[in-house]
Structure 1
Amino acid sequence: MTHTLSPRLPRGRLLRSTLLLATGTVAVVALAGCSSGSNPGSSPSATSTSAASSAATATPAATETPTPTPTVAPAGTPVSLSCDQVLTLDDIYSFNPNYGSAPDFDPTIATGKTAAEFKGLNCGLLNQSSGEIIEVSVTQPNDVLRSQLTNEAVSSSQIVPTYGTPPAVEGYFSASGGTGVAQVFTSTYWITVGSSAFFEPGDAEALVAAAVSNLE
């Protein structure tokens, strides 16, 4: 009996050892799988966050393009008047009976040339006795041109309050190079009267007053 039972003991121990070894192997595999699955680098949420951050960094912020402010140039509206509407024959005769219209007139003074440049009207009065010419111009400037002309008048001329009452009428007079020039600004027009016969503001006052009255 003794000899028949002794061989079975090693087999039982062997079976238990095998089971323990198998169990240990499964545990090791499970731990290995758990360790691999818990790697932060392979987390889907972490990968998505990193990709979104990279996309946000790579895309530049949109900037607004400022709208340029349109520039208004100095300009004049064509003057739809005739010379005898600016100064009538009676106005001229009252000023000096020796004056009449100057045929084939072209402006020679700076104010008249500026008027012509900006679609203004130029008229000439000829002294039948002396041959002297009075140059009269009327311009209808826009706000930009009016501002430029006014600034030039202020810097180069003297203010003449007898030409009209500011701000409805602003009057100026200057004498240079043997020519006197009166300038008047109304709400609509720039009127100039110039001649070598003008030495002081009062010399042109009658013609200026008549022109302003006719253009109101």
Structure 2
Amino acid sequence: MQAPPAKPGQSATTAPVGAPSTEPTPSPTPTETGPTSVPVTQTCDQLVPAQALYDYNPNFAPVPDYTPAAGTDAALIESYQGVACGWSNLSSGNTVEIAVAHLGSEDIEKLANSLVLTTPSVPTYGGVDYFKYANGVGTANAFSGDYWIVARSAEFFEPGDAAQLVASVKAALA
């Protein structure tokens, strides 16, 4: 299992998703041996079914064989046996990226504690979750039990812009 290359409050998650970002985003602070993770078994189509994607914006389509950019939270999540999904706006070309990891309770707590220091908390997603808009890209960090959900896109200007998609993911994880 790969340990994140960053310390709390720092990350190399600067790969563009619709727009470049130079703002650091937090990564989990794992134990000495790395985080405890469980494979995420849901597929992208289960996390965000076609109807949920259409309800969000009928101009989005799945990106076949989506691979997150190296150094991003989505790539980190995949290294934790998680799943990363991408959908593209057929007009603008902007991508919506959603990644989900199933971590141990202690690792979820450490991640949430690091987010408290760097990212505004929001009640938008049904819990104590986080959203930050920087350099033209909005990033939501949400939790559902021991699941860490990251939704990132140039389409997200405020927390509510990601709400429907995060709700779909949370429903699929319940």
Q: TM-score when scaled to structure 1?
A: 0.61
Quick check: which has more Rg, 1 or 2? 1
Displacement after TM superposition at 1:179 (Å): 1.4
Q: Distance in 1 between matches of 2:74 and 2:147?
A: 14
Q: Which residue of 2 aligns with 1:78?
A: 39
Q: Which runs of 5+ in 1 are unaligned?
A: 1-70
Q: Which of 48, 62, 67 is equivalent to 1:101?
A: 62
Equivalents in 2 of 1:152, 1:106: separation in Å? 26
Whole-angstrom distance in 1 between the partners of 2:144 and 2:157: 23
Q: Distance in 1 between matches of 2:33 and 2:145?
A: 19
Secondary structure of residue in 1 paired with 2:93 = coil
Identical residues among aligned pairs (%): 36
- The structure whose residues are more often helix, as a share, is 1
Letter of the structure 1 residue corresponding to residue 65 of structure 2: D
Partner amino acid for 1:202?
G
Within 2, Cα distance between the matches of 1:112 and 1:156? 18
Bigger Cα displacement from structure 2, 177-186 vs 104-113: 104-113
CA distance in 1, matches of 2:65, 2:48: 17
TM-score (norm 2): 0.75
Q: Deviations over 1:81-122 (max 9, x none)?
A: 111110100000000000010123111373212201211100
Alignment partner of 1:185 is 2:140: no
Is the CA contact (8 Å cut-off) linking 2:40 and 2:83 kept in structure 1? yes
Q: Which has the higher strand share?
A: 2
Q: In structure 1, how many angstroms separate the alpha carbons of the residues matched to 2:104 and 2:143? A: 12
Structure with the greater relative contact order (CA < 8 A, sep ≥ 6): 1 or 2?
A: 2
Q: Secondary structure at the match of 1:148?
A: helix
Cα deviation, residue 209, structure 1: 1.4
In the alignment of these two chains, the number of paired residues is 142
> Which residue of structure 2 lines up, in the alignment, with residue 147 of structure 1?
109
CA distance in 2 between counterparts of 1:85 and 1:104 reads: 15
1:198 aligns with 2:159: no
Deviation at 1:72, TM superposition (A): 6.2
Distance 1:140 1:133 in 2: 23
Aligned residue for 2:5?
A: none
Match of 1:146, as an amino acid? I
Q: Which segments of structure 1 move beyond 4 Å, counting only runs of 4 or more?
A: none
Distance 1:117 1:72 in 2: 14
| Structure 2: 5+ residue stretches without partners | 1-31
Query: What is the letter of the counterpart of residue 137 of structure 2?
Result: T
Query: CA RMSD for the aligned pairs?
Result: 1.7
Task: Give the AA of the match of 1:88.
Answer: P
1:163/1:209 contact within 8 Å kept: yes
Of residues 91, 94, 100 in structure 2, which corresponds to 1:132? 94
Q: Which residue, out of 152, 158, 163, partners 2:120?
A: 158
